[in-house]
Structure 1
Amino acid sequence: MPTTHAKRPVRAIGVHAGLTLDRIIAAARSMTPDELSMQALARRLGVDRKAINHHVSDRDTLLGMVAMDAFATSFSAVEIAHQADWEEACRTYAFGFTDSAIATGVLADRIRLTDPYVTQILEPTEAVLQKMVEAGFDDESAMRTLSLLTNICLAYARDVVIELRSGVTPRTEILRGALEQRDAAKFPTLARIAELTVTTYDRRQLEMSVELFIAGARDALHLQTVRAQA
């Protein structure tokens, strides 16, 4: 009788020493964006690059996942106080969102709220929307209003990251450079502003933006209520 040997099960591509997407992201987060590449990550994990490609197609996708993982991990911890009204809920949401985006550093530009990691930030989003609906916003108005707040916060966070990386205030430098190429006397208001020591990248700028947003949303809610009663 010939000796038979049981065939060893073939390991699927990417299933190597417990390799999972979570493990890949964790290893990627331990590397700086400049040193992160698919090959460098494969070496860090001790696997073939093809094993990485089984889970992540390319470096750009990987960087996006790292950004969203860092952002979602931070933002998911934001709690909207039960007793807060919709305005305070928006402030808590805005500051938590912005701080979480800034914490991703140079990857702030890669935050995409359509990624699967959005499932990790549903709690604070649900909480603030619920506060808005309870205050009288209809569902569409609440969605559009919160979308605007999110865009304000993300734009501010990206500005702050750019300033931190460059060490200068880009907006001011661009304005001064433009005025040097023209007759500044023709733009007296811009010339005065260019000489101010005020920065639009500080916390006060964010606070002002959020308060202006809330004031506008408050007026929109009042108008919606008036129209509903007419």
Structure 2
Amino acid sequence: MSTPSGPPGAGTPPPAAPAKVAPAEGRRGPGRPPRLNRELIVAAAAEIDPEALTLQAVADRLGVDRKAINYHIPGRDELLALVAARSLVAELGQLVLPLDDWPQATRVFATGLRAALLSSNSLSLYVSTLPSAGVLRPADQLLHALLGAGFDDAAAGRALTLICAAVFEDARAELLARRFGQHPTEVASRRVLAELPDEALPTIRRVFATSHWSRPDSLDFYLETIVSGLTRWLEQHRQD
């Protein structure tokens, strides 16, 4: 006896839905918000040699896709700057300045900042500003000392900018000399002079006869010049 036939497919169970596979830990699925944060990325980057530091290297260390790193940090230079800032915070976070002696506070701040930049080695070449709260704390102390001595807000801010510029330039010269043996500007200047007649630019030749780009006493010269100028400014404005 034949059995009645039903509609096509009747009695056949529907195919099972494909099993959902959870994205790997730390990886972003479609529409899934990133689990990473900038602090985690920078901490991982700090464990990698600066010469080998790339976004891909950090992604590999964290086991995530590189795009997850790009979500928080756009490029290698930005990443290097953040790692350098992290190092500076560790070096400068506990720096204490004498608030009742602004020239000494200037020297303590400047020498402390220079030492921190040099300890970070080539990473500091990516630092051009005072980054993060940990570095701003000693800067705040220096401003406090300047304001207490009689500088107004504008003058104190300009003084801090000038001091930082001198320290950054001095540390940068030292770091470049470490990396290349000589400061690149010194090398380029000597090359240009070698192509000119011996009697050309005698004063420059005399000054460049000895290297002055990364001398240990360079910062002392900068600071004495700055402190002397600021002292004169303060005396003049106290008389006004």
Instruction: Give the TM-score normalised by structure 1.
Output: 0.82
Does residue 95 of structure 1 match 2:111? Answer: yes
Match among 18, 24, 37 for residue 20 of structure 1: 37
Q: Which of the two has greater helix per residue?
A: 1
Match among 21, 30, 39 for residue 56 of structure 2: 39
Instruction: Give the TM-score normalised by structure 2.
Output: 0.79
Deviation at 1:174, TM superposition (A): 3.1
Deviations 1:67-119 (A, max 9, x none): 2212222122221135x5000000001111112222222222321437xx422
Structural mapping, 1:124-135, within 5 Å: 124-135=138-149
Q: 1:127 to 1:173 in 2, by over 3 A?
A: same
CA distance in 2, matches of 1:190, 1:26: 46
Deviations 1:3-36 (A, max 9, x none): xxxxx9x984321xxx432221111011122211
Which position in structure 2 is the counterpart of 1:224?
A: 237
Deviation at 1:171, TM superposition (A): 4.2
Q: 1:169 to 1:65 in 2, by over 3 A?
A: closer
CA distance in 2, matches of 1:189, 1:122: 41
CA distance in 2, matches of 1:112, 1:118: 12
Match among 49, 57, 63 for residue 80 of structure 2: 63
Q: Specify the code of the residue in structure 2 equivalent to 1:150.
A: C
Does residue 184 of structure 1 match 2:198? Answer: yes
Structural mapping, 1:114-153, within 5 Å: 117-153=131-167
Match among 156, 175, 178 for residue 189 of structure 2: 175
Q: Which has the larger radius of gyration?
A: 2
CA distance in 1, matches of 2:44, 2:132: 21
Contact 2:125–2:175 (Cα < 8 Å) also in 1: no
3-state secondary structure, aligned to 2:58:
helix
Deviation at 1:162, TM superposition (A): 0.6
CA distance in 2, matches of 1:190, 1:48: 53
**Can you give the 5+ residue segments of structure 1 that lack an aligned partner in the other structure?**
1-7
3-state secondary structure, aligned to 2:217:
helix
Deviation at 1:223, TM superposition (A): 1.3
Deviation at 1:167, TM superposition (A): 1.3
Deviation at 1:219, TM superposition (A): 0.8
CA distance in 2, matches of 1:124, 1:171: 31
3-state secondary structure, aligned to 1:94:
helix
CA distance in 1, matches of 2:200, 2:75: 50
3-state secondary structure, aligned to 1:184:
coil
CA distance in 2, matches of 1:122, 1:169: 29
Which position in structure 1 is the counterpart of 2:16?
A: none
3-state secondary structure, aligned to 1:34:
helix
**Can you give the 5+ residue segments of structure 2 that lack an aligned partner in the other structure?**
1-21, 23-27
CA distance in 2, matches of 1:118, 1:38: 21
Which position in structure 2 is the counterpart of 1:3?
A: none
Does residue 214 of structure 1 match 2:227? Answer: yes
* Number of residue equivalences: 212
CA distance in 2, matches of 1:183, 1:21: 55
Contact 2:80–2:126 (Cα < 8 Å) also in 1: yes
Contact 1:68–1:112 (Cα < 8 Å) also in 2: no
Which position in structure 2 is the counterpart of 1:4?
A: none
Q: 1:180 to 1:113 in 2, by over 3 A?
A: closer
Deviation at 1:181, TM superposition (A): 1.5
Deviations 1:143-166 (A, max 9, x none): 111111111111111111110000
